[in-house]
């Protein structure tokens, strides 16, 4: 099968090859109607300019960036990031586009990083770990840096966005636990400054009605262990704990067993993100696979389109699947693994 060329795009859009080039580079005035036709034709045919052509015509860096203000320990142990990056890279490889990953210690360093990107180091950015009223959203808008928001951000913004439903899996797990007879259900969340952590915590609160058994973790094993110890020391301890990632859940499971508790007979446990080890624990851990690779692919495609001049849009990725395993089974029973896709 022959490779799609600029001539094919021009033919599909009904314009000259030079018009396709001008529509993508922005070096000549082109009507919005014509630009839209060119972009639609390019997307339909799956065509993007070659690396050399883009660099010469657009003076672009041919790179996009992800800046993370997280503890490197969290990044190293969290299963989300490698899969997300793999999804991004699978799209970038089509155009030999580079990915810049920068970890920063504080806000000042993060601001410097984004300014550097906007001054030619990268053509756009993927924004993760969104927070309520996130200062980075208006900051990147002022920098005029093409950006895709990865998460259910509800504040005003001019960017494309990849959204998922983080609340539905929590509701499903709580319903399952109640079916098994659990009434005192606790939740160890991630940092509540993060939009996705707050969405999960709010779903938990909506279901249980109060925050007496809600604890805020930081996604590390240390916080999972410490907060599990705190919850199990209560006079009327929980009979089930939902954790906001598998790292905390596995640490909590280990601590509970060290205290002589049987899982799930004495304590039911569930995680989130479905680490590759979770299904192989004893007992196997109930968790939520959220397909971060699919989110990475969607984010990279949106950013590529934005860099080429497309209008911002929101894409909802329906990817959350709850895997019910033995760690939340009925007391004194061993339940088979069951997978359920959230609505």
Q: What is the CATH number of the domain that holds 19?
A: 1.10.260.40
Sequence-separated (6 or more) residues with CB below 8 Å from residue 3: none
- Compare 82 and 339 and report the one with higher pLDDT: 82
340 pLDDT higher than 50: no
- Compare 43 and 232 and report the one with higher pLDDT: 232
Looking at the structure, tell me whether residues 159 and 304 fall in a common domain: yes
Residue 164 CA neighbour count, 13 Å, CB half: 28
CATH number at 270 reads: 3.40.50.2300
114 lies in a domain?
A: yes
Looking at the structure, tell me whether residues 125 and 247 fall in a common domain: no
197 lies in a domain?
A: yes
Question: 109 phi and psi, to 5 degrees?
Answer: -65, -35
pLDDT for res 275:
87
Looking at the structure, tell me whether residues 121 and 79 fall in a common domain: yes
pLDDT for res 339:
44
Is 226 within 8 Å of 232 (Cβ atoms)?
no
Sequence-separated (6 or more) residues with CB below 8 Å from residue 193: 131, 132
153 lies in a domain?
A: yes
Looking at the structure, tell me whether residues 21 and 93 fall in a common domain: no
Per-residue pLDDT tens digits for 155-211? 889 999 999 999 999 999 999 999 999 989 999 999 999 999 999 999 999 999 999
Per-residue pLDDT tens digits for 21-79? 777 665 556 777 888 888 888 878 877 665 544 544 455 778 999 999 877 776 776 77
The helix or strand, by DSSP H or E, that contains position 39, with its residue range, turns out to be: helix 32-45
56 lies in a domain?
A: no
Per-residue pLDDT tens digits for 132-163? 889 999 999 999 999 999 988 888 899 999 99
Question: DSSP character for 237?
Answer: -
What is the rounded CA–CA span in Å between residue 79 and residue 120?
31
Looking at the structure, tell me whether residues 206 and 329 fall in a common domain: yes
> Given pLDDT bands bounded at 50, 70 and 90, which one contains residue 331?
low
Count: domains in the chain: 3
First to last CA, the chain: 39
Looking at the structure, tell me whether residues 21 and 81 fall in a common domain: no
54 lies in a domain?
A: no
What are 288's strand-pairing partners? 322
Looking at the structure, tell me whether residues 331 and 218 fall in a common domain: yes
What is the rounded CA–CA span in Å between residue 179 and residue 12?
56
58 lies in a domain?
A: no
Looking at the structure, tell me whether residues 300 and 332 fall in a common domain: no
Q: pTM above the 0.95 mark?
A: no
Looking at the structure, tell me whether residues 253 and 153 fall in a common domain: no
Per-residue pLDDT tens digits for 237-265? 999 999 999 999 999 999 999 999 999 99
Looking at the structure, tell me whether residues 159 and 300 fall in a common domain: yes
Looking at the structure, tell me whether residues 179 and 252 fall in a common domain: yes
Stretch 290-314: mean pLDDT, rounded?
91
Domain that holds residue 295: 63-163+291-319
Stretch 280-288: mean pLDDT, rounded?
95
225 lies in a domain?
A: yes
pLDDT for res 92:
92
Looking at the structure, tell me whether residues 133 and 273 fall in a common domain: no
Characterize the bridge pairing of strands 98-103 and 63-68: parallel
Question: 301 phi and psi, to 5 degrees?
Answer: -65, -45
């Amino acid at each position: 099968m022959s490779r799609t060329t600029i001539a094919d795009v021009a033919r599909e859009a009904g314009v000259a090859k030079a018009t396709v080039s001008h529509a993508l580079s922005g070096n000549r005035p082109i009507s919005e109607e014509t630009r839209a036709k060119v972009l639609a034709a390019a997307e339909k045919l799956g065509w993007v300019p070659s690396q050399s052509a883009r660099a010469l015509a657009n003076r672009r860096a041919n790179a996009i960036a992800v800046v993370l203000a997280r503890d490197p320990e969290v990044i190293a142990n969290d299963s989300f990031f490698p899969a997300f990056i793999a999804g991004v890279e699978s799209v970038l490889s089509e155009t030999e586009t580079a990915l810049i990953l920068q970890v920063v210690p504080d806000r000042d360093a993060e601001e410097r990083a984004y300014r550097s990107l906007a001054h030619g180091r990268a053509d756009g950015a993927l924004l993760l770990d969104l927070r309520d009223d996130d200062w980075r959203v208006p900051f990147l808008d002022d920098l005029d840096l093409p950006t895709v928001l990865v998460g259910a951000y509800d504040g005003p913004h001019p960017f494309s966005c990849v959204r998922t439903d983080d609340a539905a899996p929590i509701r499903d797990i709580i319903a399952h636990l109640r079916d098994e007879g659990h009434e005192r259900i606790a939740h160890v969340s991630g940092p509540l400054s993060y939009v996705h952590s707050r969405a999960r915590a709010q779903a938990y609160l909506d279901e249980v009605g109060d925050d007496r058994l809600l604890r805020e973790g930081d996604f590390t094993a240390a916080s999972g262990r410490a907060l599990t110890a705190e919850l199990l020391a209560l006079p009327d301890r929980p009979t089930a704990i939902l954790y906001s990632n598998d790292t905390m859940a596995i640490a909590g499971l280990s601590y509970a067993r060290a205290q002589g508790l049987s899982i799930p007979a004495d304590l039911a446990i569930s995680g989130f993100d479905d680490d590759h080890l979770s299904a192989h624990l004893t007992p196997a851990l109930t968790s939520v696979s959220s397909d971060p690779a699919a989110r990475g692919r969607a984010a990279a495609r949106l950013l590529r389109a934005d860099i080429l001049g497309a209008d911002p849009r929101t894409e909802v990725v329906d990817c959350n699947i709850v895997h019910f395993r033995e760690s939340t089974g009925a007391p004194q029973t061993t339940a088979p693994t069951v997978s359920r896709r959230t609505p």
